[in-house]
Amino acid sequence: MEVLLGICRKERVTAVIVTHDESLTQHATRVLRLDSGRLQSDELGAAGTIVGKGKAAVKDALETAEDVVDTVRRPVEAAIHGSLATAKALGGVAKDIADAARPKRKE
């Protein structure tokens, strides 16, 4: 489920899941309940609350940070292994990515 949710957040798409497993509703932003093909309720799911959205935002920020760390790690490893030219080239890319990932200040 975490993989599916991660892809949906990253690609900014919606997944529609039909299930009888009530525990999956904790991941939903919206829960539609049907009985005999008729809509019984339309509710806000746990992930649709402010707390749920906050958790998703933190998870997205951590994934972005992991991407930046991975990008920065490459030039360091290249330098350690003696390829200074590669380290410098990758270091410039790492700085660009880190700058792009940094939140913009509102003026």
63 and 39, same domain (yes or no): no
Residues 42 and 67 in one domain: no
Please give the tally of structural domains in the chain: 2
Mean pLDDT of 90-104: 64
The reply to whether 40 and 67 lie within a common domain is no
Last residue in a domain, options 33, 48, 63 = 48
CA–CA distances in Å: residue 45 to residues 6, 10, 13, 22? 17, 20, 17, 11
Q: Does the reported pTM lie above 0.85?
A: no
List Cβ neighbours of 39 (8 Å cut-off, separation of 6 or more).
32, 33
pLDDT tens by residue, 73-92:
776 676 666 655 655 666 66
Identify the domain containing residue 26 by its residue range.
1-48
> 65 and 31, same structural domain?
no
**pLDDT at residue 97 above 70?**
no
For residue range 23-78, what is the model confidence (pLDDT) as tens digits?
888 888 888 898 998 988 888 887 776 777 777 778 777 887 887 777 777 766 76
